Homo-oligomer: A and B are copies of this chain.
Amino acid sequence: MTPILPDTIRPHDLDFSGLLCKRNRMRAATIKDVAHRAGVSTATVSRVLNNSGYFDPETARAVNEAVKTLDYRRNVHWKRLSSNSSETICFLLGNRDALNSMQVKMLMAAERELTDAGFDLVFAPFRYSPNTAPERLQLPRLIAQQGTVDGVILAGLHYENFLDALSNINLPYVVLGNTYIGHQDKIKTDALVYDDITGAYEATKYLLRLGHRRIAFVGDTNLPWFGRRYEGYRRALGENNIEEIRATEDWGVGYIEYGKLAASELLRDANPPTAVFAANDEIAGGVWKTLANRGIRIPEEISLMGFGDREDFSILEPSLTTVTVFQEKIGAELAGMLLRKLQNPEVPLDSRTFPCQIVERNSCAAPRSQKKLVLA
């Protein structure tokens, strides 16, 4: 018995198994193939598949049979065309060359959430440099091209430069607000932030509780996200009338180098700090390097606290005590917010704050010979 085939198929369009091919490549079954196999017209197949209009139950049976044997699946592009959605979300990264383990965690969590909801995740980094004129900034092609994505998650640095453009082309988006705070009033959109002020406050209190009085903050506070952590640090010190310790603000170098330089400077002091609170884990890593080079033991001689809980820094020995921002939760929640927004565009602006939490590991301990303070 020869299989039923469309007229347009010629012998060389068939492969050994009788399935349709084209130029020797297997072709996916189309509605036409199904129609032929079921001995009906494409219109009827469409009616059966969409359960619209009239059709004989017996015909439906034949159609479904054909669908099954041919493994027919509706063409994705047609589906997207008729539903006017691409079922795709873009994760916009802050910079082409950077994707650290924190972003990776958010990305993976978001991916899971989106996949479960039937969406795909594309990602696009953009190039940004501070001396690019605003009008020359370009949205990634993928986003600028209408219809390619249904929404955007922004979780990197400098995305504020793209917010207007996104609004202009009317693309729903959600942002991780932390890299943008200080201009928070300008964010007229759904944003998620983690409360790093309180996180830094708690971290500093933790060091105070261990008995430290000379706690240095390392990080350029001109960066808003570090400025906030500095604020928490300062509040904790202020409540206990303890003087702050800072190194030079801005060296114009990367985080790790920054930490190295700052640590060197702090160690030049006749009375160096007994604990260092780094504005992020990368800076903590730099501090670490300098301490290791000088043979200063952590935490026996100096305690070190990071911020961010970047998984890749778990390699340090002893392991780094830090503050986690729950990257997975953030990633999943960003995706969730966007999905809700897509489902119901009229929903009011949504802005939520996630707590941070100290992760006690082994880089912090009581200072050697210093009695504990009575804390406020």
Contacts and interface: CB of A to CB of B under 8 A. Distances in A.
A80 B99 CA distance: 30
A111 B123 contact: yes
Report the copy number of this chain in the oligomer: 2
A20 to B, nearest CB: 12
Contacts of A147: 28, 75-77
| Interface-centre pick from A140, A289, A293 (highest chain B CB count, 10 A) | A289
Interface string A70-82: 0001111110110
A56 interface: no
A78 B148 CA distance: 11
Contacts of A293: 317-318
Interface residues of A, number: 53
Interface in A85-134: 86, 88, 96-97, 99, 101, 104, 107-108, 111-112, 115, 118, 120-125
Interchain residue pairs A-B with the least CB separation, the first 5: A312-B312, A77-B81, A292-B317, A76-B147, A289-B317
Given A73-B146, A256-B315, 13 more contacts: A25-B345, A26-B170, A28-B147, A76-B146, A76-B148, A77-B80, A77-B81, A96-B112, A101-B312, A111-B125, A115-B140, A121-B123, A312-B315
Interface of A: 25-26, 28, 73-78, 80-81, 86, 88, 96-97, 99, 101, 104, 107-108, 111-112, 115, 118, 120-125, 140-142, 145-148, 169-170, 256, 285, 288-289, 292-293, 312-318, 345
